[in-house]
Structure 1
Amino acid sequence: MKKRLLLKTIFVITLLTPLMHSCDNEPVDAIIIQDSDGDGIPNNLDNCITIANPDQADDDNDGIGNPCDEEANLDTDGDGIPDNIDNCIEIANPDQADDDNDGIGNTCDDITTTPLFECINGMAGEYPCDGYDLMAQIPVSVLANTMGNPEGSDIWGWTDPLTGNEYALIAMTNSTAFVDITNPTEPVFLGRLDTADGANFWRDVKVYNNHAYIVADGSQNLNHGMQVFDLTKLRNVTNPPINFTSDAHYTEFGKAHNIVINEDSGYAYAVGSNTFGGGAHFINIQNPTNPIAEGGFNGYSHDAQVVTYTGPDSDYSGHEILIGSNENEVVIADITDKANPVTISTIAYNNIGYTHQGWFTEDSRYFILGDETDEMGFGNNTRTIVFDFTDLDNPAFHLDYFGPTAAIDHNGYVKGNTYFQANYSAGLRMIDITNIASGTMVESGFFDTHPENNNTSFNGAWSVYPYFSSGNIIISDIERGLLIVRKSE
């Protein structure tokens, strides 16, 4: 954790020829003017000493400049202590304990952010990289139990709202592993929750209200259903690793390829299950350990995103909208009324291989889609398809983005102006979407978790979770397990 530094600038006023006192011919002392934020306004006149504000704007006339007002209202870690007085900004520490009196709270003192391998000259240890360091790695052999030659699968993250600690939830072929990554260079494997019904390559996990929801897909998983696990148990693991047990088991379906959650509404959606023709299976999880079936939406979805819509199409403002990646097309549906879900529109595109997974931009204007097998079927480099969803009734193709390798794209997620793409053998790719409206996407960095090659094959990075406020990014790799990376300083 970087300590916040207060930059101090001292202006010393001198003259080429020293001024002399008229009475004793001694030099006049230099006049010292302090300007801590370097904005040209001396501290004794500055209405915001620590943040540059040369215009001295003070909209609420409280004597404190706007920049300091804004900082006073920030609380990055949500612990009730404003950033401007918090001794550990990124990790919750409401007691502000500072045992060594160094100005840095205990919780931040305990954090080491020196990478295991910095990205230097295009390499971080054995891994090719561009702008991202390797903080730590935990192999599959540690994370999974020994049943059935385990491999890595899906991944998600959880931030404890009480402590601010960060956890990786890594789905393996036979279990789900839980790792405390609060100190990203010293992650702690806390334990695992074993499968409810056999091993399988496809296991998926998502989070709602401090609970994990886990499904699995395959012929062996006809009785797996959905495991529910109370993540607050992770706070008090004193002798890791341990074998956890689930807190609820939902059995209204058997297998499911994926689990989708709308945290705003408190609904989970199992897709690719053995119900509703593989369409979305609706589950009310507002009481997290008492999931209730509430119908479904017919028509197979391999993956989906469900949001409470706040995008540009005012016709659907506040509605619950499902975007399904449905093998050979994208389906947009209004599922607000669980008893009467309605298809709004569908859209296909050229050279369809397998319509796999997609994610909205943060303004819900564009939908970024990965097709999992077009690289194999048509010989193109990694292709990402972007649709314009300004009008949900009339979606339109917007652009194709082609990556630098022939690797297969898998799961991708948007955070701010970056699209984080798990790109199998090419690892994790970071793509700048700042200018997506004008038809431009540019790779801004990468971390290649599969250094052997960038082949068109099902090896390497399966998925990514980029949403931790600390900047930690977690990757699930099929062969290498959990990798924690972070943008280079």
Structure 2
Amino acid sequence: MKNELRISLKILTFYFLIIGLVVLQSCDDEPVDPIVVVDSDNDGIPDAQDNCPSISNPNQSDVDNDGIGDSCDTTNDLDTDNDGIPDDEDNCPLIPNPDQIDDDGDGIGNACQDNPDLTPMFPCIDGMAGPYPCDGYDLMGHIPVSVLANNLGNPEGSDIWGWTDTTTGKEYALVAMTNSTAFVDVSDPTNPIFLGRLDTATSTSYWRDVKVYNNYAFIVADNVGAHGMQVFDLTRLRSVTNPPENFTSDALYSGFGSAHNIVINENSGYAYAVGSSRSGTYGGGPLFINIQNPLNPIGEGGFFGYAHDAQVVTYNGPDSDYAGREIIVGSNENEVVIADITDKGNPIEIATISYNNVGYTHQGWFTEDMRYFILGDETDELGFGNNTRTIVFDFTDLDNPTFKMDYIGPSAAIDHNGYVKGNSYYLANYTAGLRVIDISGVDGNSMNEIAYFDTHPENNNTSFNGAWSVYPYFQSGNIIISDIERGLFIVRPTQ
């Protein structure tokens, strides 16, 4: 009986062993579910690792190191001057001012404006700063074209941009000239230091433009053959000991020849060359260039239709349909074009809008809430005889943009480049110089000029002379202006 029981147990053990092997084998043969990598914002960073998964930010910038990317972080607490006020709320982030006093209400704290050590080159007194007409702005410093461009080939000035070295806090002007790009340390606006120049990649051009991304300058020029895009490492300016130097570029992108302008979205790490060859693949439309590795730009397509200038933003305005999308607003000669370019392989036009008495749709800028878009038409003053006209569109619904209002300036000078900071619109108004326009009342169709500095004192004629562009974004409150004939001006609100 015991032997029979042992035999039965062995048979049962063998039976269950066979069943187990069959089950294991069948499990091994079953298909395995694929691992799904979710990247909601299509920026190449999986959501699990992305510090801002809802808004494209391939550079993963996080200035306050709190684990939330700057694109998503509404509470950045970086406090450079250790005064208890985060930089993104501080009206003077480089000088301690916990009281945040701002007597003139211009968004720049008294601590940044009331500096007794900064004696203007020419204070604005009785409407004049030395030889220059003014209202509310002192002339702090000036460097003429002959110095910036070495006076070779009858040079002129064109575009301008600024760079702040976050390591040192120093501020620099990047001044585009017909033959080169000049670099100026404007940290002490009363004693600007011309550090040197980067010569053109080909020949001279009356249209040279520069923008900045991650401590690199990107430079293009129009009507100059195979110029491409020069890339220059701005941190090299820290070590200049014997200025001025003759610099060379750190990289040259040759995916296009000439371009009228360069536009950069610092959130996404993309540059957009606009106004390139009309015979090219995209007819002079924006070319998409990935510059997340600044020294190795990569072309990723484009959008058809000639664009003279543009602004590209990671959208956070009132139209919830496009929250977090990368939106381009092109000033395209006779109309404004809005497009979603989040997917570089499939850009989608959203809407177009034009307006009365179109001369040349030149350049525009969003208000900070992205509700309105402020546009300049470069030739309507010439063609229709009106005074300086600034056109405002309501972009509350990007699919249905509407005309909002016209602002008419006090002279017949031509408007060129304009930029928004807070409730002010800073306009380079050619022969009328810099004009500062209060836009706080735009909801009620009200805009009014509150200050100016005229870099072209001869006249306010309707001609292409004087102030080409302006950069109003330095935390110090200093503003830099590029003048075609007179070079770099550094101005500051009158104390």
TM-score by structure 2 length? 0.78
Matched, 1:137 2:142: yes
Superposed displacement of residue 84, structure 1: 7.5
- Do 1:112 and 1:183's aligned partners in 2 also have CA atoms closer than 8 Å? no
Matched, 1:256 2:255: no
Matched, 1:361 2:354: no
Between the aligned partners of 1:310 and 1:343, the Cα distance in structure 2 is 18
Superposed displacement of residue 469, structure 1: 0.3
Which of 330, 346, 353 is matched with 2:352 structurally? Answer: 346
1:315 partner amino acid:
D
- Do 1:74 and 1:83's aligned partners in 2 also have CA atoms closer than 8 Å? no
Superposed displacement of residue 148, structure 1: 1.9
SS at match of 2:235: helix
In the TM superposition, 1:27-106 aligns within 5 A as 78-79=79-80, 81-82=82-83, 90-91=93-94
Matched, 1:283 2:295: no
Between the aligned partners of 1:145 and 1:287, the Cα distance in structure 2 is 32
Q: Which residue of 1 aligns with 2:307?
A: 301
1:255 partner amino acid:
S
Superposed displacement of residue 113, structure 1: 1.6
In the TM superposition, 1:15-414 aligns within 5 A as 78-79=79-80, 81-82=82-83, 90-91=93-94, 112-218=117-223, 221-274=224-277, 275=280, 276-414=282-420
Measured against aligned partners, the alpha-carbon deviations of 1:156-205 in whole angstroms (never above 9, x if no partner) come to 00000100000000000000000000000000000000000100100000
- Residue 115 to residue 308, structure 1, CA distance change in 2 (3 Å): same
1:349 partner amino acid:
Y
- Do 1:386 and 1:398's aligned partners in 2 also have CA atoms closer than 8 Å? yes
SS at match of 1:377: helix
- Do 1:91 and 1:163's aligned partners in 2 also have CA atoms closer than 8 Å? no
1:343 partner amino acid:
E
Measured against aligned partners, the alpha-carbon deviations of 1:69-105 in whole angstroms (never above 9, x if no partner) come to xxxx9988x536235899xx65489xxxxxxxxxxxx
1:261 partner amino acid:
I
Q: Which has the larger radius of gyration?
A: 2
Q: Which residue of 2 aligns with 1:488?
A: 494
SS at match of 2:321: helix
TM-score by structure 1 length? 0.79
- Do 1:119 and 1:132's aligned partners in 2 also have CA atoms closer than 8 Å? yes
SS at match of 1:333: strand
- Residue 74 to residue 125, structure 1, CA distance change in 2 (3 Å): farther
- Do 1:75 and 1:82's aligned partners in 2 also have CA atoms closer than 8 Å? no
Superposed displacement of residue 285, structure 1: 0.4
1:159 partner amino acid:
T
Superposed displacement of residue 446, structure 1: 0.2
SS at match of 2:210: strand
- Do 1:172 and 1:203's aligned partners in 2 also have CA atoms closer than 8 Å? yes
2:412 partner amino acid:
A
- Residue 370 to residue 150, structure 1, CA distance change in 2 (3 Å): same
Measured against aligned partners, the alpha-carbon deviations of 1:200-246 in whole angstroms (never above 9, x if no partner) come to 1000000000000000001xx11100000000000111000000110
Q: Which residue of 2 aligns with 1:99?
A: none
- Do 1:211 and 1:228's aligned partners in 2 also have CA atoms closer than 8 Å? yes
Between the aligned partners of 2:291 and 2:169, the Cα distance in structure 1 is 24
Of structures 1 and 2, the one scoring higher in RCO (CA 8 A, sep 6+) is 2
Aligned residues: 400
1:262 partner amino acid:
N
Measured against aligned partners, the alpha-carbon deviations of 1:284-326 in whole angstroms (never above 9, x if no partner) come to 0001111000000010000000000000000000000000000
Between the aligned partners of 1:342 and 1:168, the Cα distance in structure 2 is 36
- Residue 162 to residue 148, structure 1, CA distance change in 2 (3 Å): same
- Residue 112 to residue 251, structure 1, CA distance change in 2 (3 Å): farther
- Do 2:76 and 2:86's aligned partners in 1 also have CA atoms closer than 8 Å? no
Between the aligned partners of 1:341 and 1:360, the Cα distance in structure 2 is 20
SS at match of 1:186: coil
Q: Which residue of 2 aligns with 1:70?
A: none
Between the aligned partners of 2:442 and 2:391, the Cα distance in structure 1 is 11
Matched, 1:420 2:426: yes
What value does the CA root-mean-square deviation take over the aligned residues? Answer: 2.2
Runs of 4 or more off by more than 4 Å in structure 1? 73-76, 83-86
Between the aligned partners of 1:485 and 1:170, the Cα distance in structure 2 is 15
- Do 1:92 and 1:162's aligned partners in 2 also have CA atoms closer than 8 Å? no
2:275 partner amino acid:
G
Between the aligned partners of 1:413 and 1:138, the Cα distance in structure 2 is 23
Between the aligned partners of 1:333 and 1:113, the Cα distance in structure 2 is 45
- Residue 131 to residue 339, structure 1, CA distance change in 2 (3 Å): same
Between the aligned partners of 1:90 and 1:82, the Cα distance in structure 2 is 9
Matched, 1:444 2:443: no
Matched, 1:435 2:441: yes
Q: Percent identity?
A: 73
- Residue 337 to residue 91, structure 1, CA distance change in 2 (3 Å): same
- Residue 85 to residue 394, structure 1, CA distance change in 2 (3 Å): closer
Gaps of 5+ in 1: 1-72, 94-106
Superposed displacement of residue 112, structure 1: 3.5
Between the aligned partners of 2:465 and 2:331, the Cα distance in structure 1 is 22
Q: Which residue of 2 aligns with 1:55?
A: none
SS at match of 1:426: coil
Between the aligned partners of 1:130 and 1:315, the Cα distance in structure 2 is 43
Q: Which residue of 2 aligns with 1:17?
A: none
Between the aligned partners of 2:428 and 2:77, the Cα distance in structure 1 is 31
- Do 2:424 and 2:439's aligned partners in 1 also have CA atoms closer than 8 Å? yes
- Do 1:409 and 1:423's aligned partners in 2 also have CA atoms closer than 8 Å? yes
